[in-house]
Amino acid sequence: MSDYIHSVLLDPTKCTGCTTCMKHCPTEAIRVRSGCAEIDSRRCIDCGECIRNCTNHAKKSSYDSLEELKRFKFNVALPAPSICAQFDNLDDIGYVIQGLLDIGFDDVFEVSKGAEFVSAYTRLYLQAQGIRKPVISTACPVVTRLILLRFPFLKDNLLPLLPPMEVAAIMAREKAEKEHPELKPEEIGVTFISPCPAKVSYIRNTFGSYKSEIDLAVSMSEVYLRLISVMKRDRAPAVSTAAGRIGLSWAICGGEASALLNDRIIAADGITNVISVLEQIENGNIPPIDFVELNACPGGCIGGVLAIENPYVAKNRLHTLRRYLPVSQAEIGKDGLIPDDCIVDEFPSYQPLNRLSDNLSESIRLMQKIQAIRKELPGIDCGSCGAPNCRAFAEDIVMANADKNDCIIAYKDFIKDYIGNYGGDKHDSK
């Protein structure tokens, strides 16, 4: 996955080398070298923690410009459900849909509608025999990538369904082709309005054998700014939402899980909580449950770094908005089957992220060296060397990515010894 296209980027001109992002990176993907942060592409899961924590705004998300819409004759907007939570005193989702039409989209297909189908398919999937439980949600691309990189044993627990945005994209494209037979398929542009960089990355990379149906991924913050200038709300909107409570609730942690109408569920949010739940599942130390929903961002997708509002305020707004909605507006086929085009045939194969070498004897030898170096390091995990902690630093030294003298404490001792041996003043060492 070293050729993975990432959407979390660094602006070196703004980076001060302060080590804050490095300390917050859950996969230890960041090092600070020569006063500037570097992201290891193989380890990065696009979670956005560094963007969230960088005080210098040196970390940013990459996404497509709204200008790109010009490439298509007919543009369909796919708003993530979290967008509805960004507006103060909004009482009808129809205003958002109307707003998207007013800023230039030709049609709107809500991802919340796709989400309701995913919920229905998940309920069907959970009834299947011989599946490995707990089934783990694959809606958050950060979590899926984290599992494939760090929890390979849990790969078979992954829900083999496309995420809501892809299901929505497939349906949106079908709808556009049917309603506008005069258009060629390549003239229809499907644009996802994303709350986070991870979903942008998902769209830009092939996932196993699957290539995203989405053409553009734009930032929720940018669309928000365009929307507030056109959303006058002076008369009732002419359009209304095509989704219900279930679809809208996918924006919040617990929404996906509670849509299964099953008590044997867990929902966790925040990347460190996600990791600890995964550790516990891998250890087998979890009560018998059917489904686990995991969201990398605090609060769920409303906590994405491209969303505007504080996730807790956003959550409150969604509660208000969903009050008079039907439970769900998705009607699945009577056959009770999951459509083939929504099933993930294969997940990307396990990439041994942190393997020291391909040969066990060599790995053992390297690990012994790491252990020996760790004993000589101060163990205070200060980060001044440019690695997030002393263990990671010891690994970097052994893998020839760092020099022991990068440790200021070890270097100080070295200088002391040097002065002691070569004519240092007696008063310095008492």
Residues in touch with other proteins (CB under 8 A): 150, 152-153, 279, 282-285, 287, 350, 352, 354-358, 360-361, 363-365, 367-368, 371, 395
Count of Cβ atoms closer than 10 Å to residue 112 Cβ: 33
Closer of 139 and 402 to other proteins (Cβ): 402
Q: Which residues, at least 6 apart from 90, have a Cβ–Cβ distance to it below 8 Å?
A: 84, 96, 317, 321
Tell me how far, at minimum, the Cβ of 152 lies from other proteins, in Å: 4
Closer of 89 and 283 to other proteins (Cβ): 283
Q: Whole-angstrom Cα distance, residue 274 to residue 142?
A: 10
Closer of 316 and 354 to other proteins (Cβ): 354
Tell me how far, at minimum, the Cβ of 361 lies from other proteins, in Å: 6
Please give the structure tokens belonging to residue 164.
Answer: 């809501």
Closer of 107 and 395 to other proteins (Cβ): 395
Q: Which residues, at least 6 apart from 383, have a Cβ–Cβ distance to it below 8 Å?
A: 19, 22, 23, 32, 389
Closer of 282 and 406 to other proteins (Cβ): 282
Tell me how far, at minimum, the Cβ of 220 lies from other proteins, in Å: 35
Closer of 168 and 387 to other proteins (Cβ): 387
Closer of 94 and 152 to other proteins (Cβ): 152
Tell me how far, at minimum, the Cβ of 45 lies from other proteins, in Å: 16
Tell me how far, at minimum, the Cβ of 366 lies from other proteins, in Å: 9
Tell me how far, at minimum, the Cβ of 217 lies from other proteins, in Å: 32
Closer of 321 and 370 to other proteins (Cβ): 370
Q: Whole-angstrom Cα distance, residue 192 to residue 4?
A: 20
Examine residue 185 and say whether the peptide bond preceding it is cis (omega within 30 degrees of 0).
no
Q: Whole-angstrom Cα distance, residue 244 to residue 398?
A: 55
Closer of 209 and 363 to other proteins (Cβ): 363
Tell me how far, at minimum, the Cβ of 134 lies from other proteins, in Å: 15
Closer of 301 and 353 to other proteins (Cβ): 353
Amino acid identity of 281? I
